[in-house]
Amino acid sequence: MSHKPDLDVALIQTELAWQDPAANRAHFAELLVEARAADLVILPEMFSTGFSMHSSALAEAEDGPTSAWLLEQAERIGSVICGSLIIQAADGSYRNRLLWARPDGTLAHYDKRHLFRMAGEHKHYAAGEQQVVLELNGWRVRPLICYDLRFPVWSRDPGGTDLLLYTANWPAARRQHWNRLLPARAIENLCYVAAVNRIGSDGNGHPYSGDSQVLDFQGDALLVPGEAGGVFRTRLSAASLAAYRQRFPAHLDADPFSLDEA
């Protein structure tokens, strides 16, 4: 059985100010007070701008104002905070990059692998090259971004992910896909899933239905705020996860595979 502590997770589902990082930082700073002392706080994809293809105009440096703000907020509330934003990497490329800001002042990141072709994201951003596994209180957490959800091989981790994390701007037009794929990822990986989407409409007129959620390893919902805005918290049981994997060890029969370089 697991000796890990339980994990307190907070999701922030909200509208976003279109292409206005300062306004979004101020908005989230207020909401983060309600997430104080959670182990992990998850913000939406491109939380500082909305899902914009204006990468060259909106990109921040790796040590830019939103990165600094995330670290300040993580220290202020005593939680790891994550969410993606538009970053210009050291090599000059633009990335849809999830930042993982720890209270101790350190940052980790994951670059979105699957760029949303139907919006032209692949023309404005460079794809991520590698999967990332982050450790939090003994939990193995795998961050992924929006369109990544459609690609089960990229979501697989033979090393035993405990929590799959998806941050998204997933339009209401395809909410059925979101609500069906998330339980599938939980079931096939025998792990918890936490997924955060936005609400409201963006500057292109696309509406978003929210549907943020936390699911257990059987795909059952632990937290479903629907279309409501706010901060939503739940607790993940390490003992329940360990007991289920011992009782139903399907991972032992998983097919071996390797990922080729893109």
Which tens digits make up the pLDDT trace of 127-146? 999 999 999 999 999 999 99
Which candidate in 45, 82, 121, 191 is catalytic? 45
Which candidate in 4, 60, 82, 112 is catalytic? 112
| Phi, psi (deg, nearest 5) at residue 94 | -95, 135
pLDDT at 262: 55
pLDDT at 163: 98
Which candidate in 82, 121, 146, 191 is catalytic? 146
Fold category of 7-253 in CATH: Nitrilase/N-carbamoyl-D-aminoacid amidohydrolase (3.60.110)
User: Which of 227, 102, 45, 82 minimizes the C-alpha distance to 213?
Assistant: 227
pLDDT at 1: 52
Model confidence pLDDT, tens digit, residues 160-215: 899 999 999 999 999 999 999 999 999 999 999 999 999 999 999 999 999 999 99
pLDDT at 159: 76
pLDDT at 257: 84
Catalytic status, residue 191: no
pLDDT at 261: 63
> Residue 237 and residue 235: Cα distance in Å, rounded?
6
Catalytic status, residue 123: no
pLDDT at 50: 98
Under-70 pLDDT residues of the chain: 1-2, 261-262
Note if the pTM is more than 0.95.
Answer: yes
Catalytic status, residue 112: yes
Give the count of alpha carbons within 13 A of 102, CB side only.
10
pLDDT at 116: 98
User: Which of 214, 201, 237, 235 minimizes the C-alpha distance to 2?
Assistant: 237
pLDDT at 2: 58
